[in-house]
Amino acid sequence: MKQLTCHDIGVDCDMKFVGESEEDVMRQAEEHAAHEHNLPVIPPNIEKKCRAAITDISTNSSHGTDTVTSPAA
């Protein structure tokens, strides 16, 4: 699973996007940006920042906790 939040890219917004792939997360972020942040198209510099901030998450089923892995440099 992949995750991104608006806070991850410096936006004062509590929205979290979770998906099976980076593309799933970006699709959600694009829709949110258009409706909530008046960005009908995410500019290339912001898209790059979003993709760099996407993290891998996995759920520990025995404890119900999330593990977040930082993106690779």
pTM of the full structure: 0.77
pLDDT of 60 reads 61
Contact 19, 28 (CB under 8 A): yes
Structure confidence at residue 58 as a pLDDT band (50, 70, 90):
confident
pLDDT of 43 reads 95
Count structural domains, the chain.
Answer: 1
Contact 20, 11 (CB under 8 A): no
User: Angle at the Cα of 49 (from 44 to 52), degrees rounded to 5?
Assistant: 125
C-alpha neighbours within 13 Å on the C-beta side of residue 8: 20
Domain around 40 = 2-69
